Amino acid sequence: MGYPFESGRLVVCRRPAATIRAPTRSCWRGFLREAACLDYLEWLRWPEGIRCPRCPGRDGWRLASGRWECALCGRQSSATAGTIFDRTRTPLRLWFAAAWQMTSHKHGVSALGVQRSLGLGSYQTAWAMLHRYRVAMVRPGRERLAGHVEVDEAYVGGVEGGGQGRKTESKAIVAIAVEIENPKGLGRIRLAHVPDVSAESLLPFINEAVAPGATVHTDGWQAYLTLGDRGYEHERTVMRTQSDPAHVVMPGVHRVASLLQRWLLGTHQGRVSHEHLDAYLNEFVRHEALSNRVGCKAPPPGCRSSPVKLRAA
């Protein structure tokens, strides 16, 4: 398919909606041209063909700007409106290449790595692209964890001297919930950056991450004491009275905490601010689900051929 319209001001190519086809490209090399990227986004947005947001029109023109103009009423619409690509000044082919790097590298990529490999002018541009992807990685309305779920907190960040127990100064606290599969193995995970380890911080996390009726396994920390009154089966193991170490009693959360710490220090070299940690946690959960080290019950949107809308950042 040729794209003779890349220079020119207004209506330069008339293409019936019916000619939009599901792309067959299987790697980023199919997305070296802007027009190919736009084709793909249009297919995601309008899998049945262009649809005017104002009238029943299903036919139109693609303008030089990449927008579509309805043949019936003249309304212009864009495949990128309301998505993370809305009004971006970075070419779509660079966005696509960054997405490819982010998802195909086993441990993801750092903004510095993307800046260098794509030849971007600034670190900020690379970081902002990756960050928008991270924010969009959570599937709205995803199901809560169920069955047997381990919950604990972990302290992530750089090395911190001194201090014992649950107090922290420079480290960030991450609440972790992990489904434990029967007979063994890890299921889905949920992570959240919490300000402290009080019941006011941890209980809302559990409520959002774990479905009522699940068995929630925690240590003896007082913040978890009321879980039994909130619709959960509460299994409580007081570590002080245990001969086994914590990583044996609650292997799931300790495995996830150690993978997370390694990922933050390795791929991102510990350069993750507390302010943006939640977005990085999204990316970590997605990487782990895709690498099958932990489970992913529903296929992540976008990793199959079904159309999906990207959520705005």
Binding residues (CB under 5 A) for Zn ion: these are 52, 54-55, 57, 70, 72-73, 75
The least CB distance from residue 9 to Zn ion, in Å, is 21
Of residues 50 and 264, the one with the C-beta less far from Zn ion: 50
The least CB distance from residue 291 to Zn ion, in Å, is 44
**Residue for token pair 């009693």:** 249
Of residues 50 and 256, the one with the C-beta less far from Zn ion: 50
Of residues 73 and 303, the one with the C-beta less far from Zn ion: 73
The least CB distance from residue 53 to Zn ion, in Å, is 8
The least CB distance from residue 160 to Zn ion, in Å, is 59
The least CB distance from residue 182 to Zn ion, in Å, is 54
Of residues 73 and 312, the one with the C-beta less far from Zn ion: 73
Of residues 82 and 212, the one with the C-beta less far from Zn ion: 82
CA distance linking residue 160 with residue 167, whole number of Å: 11
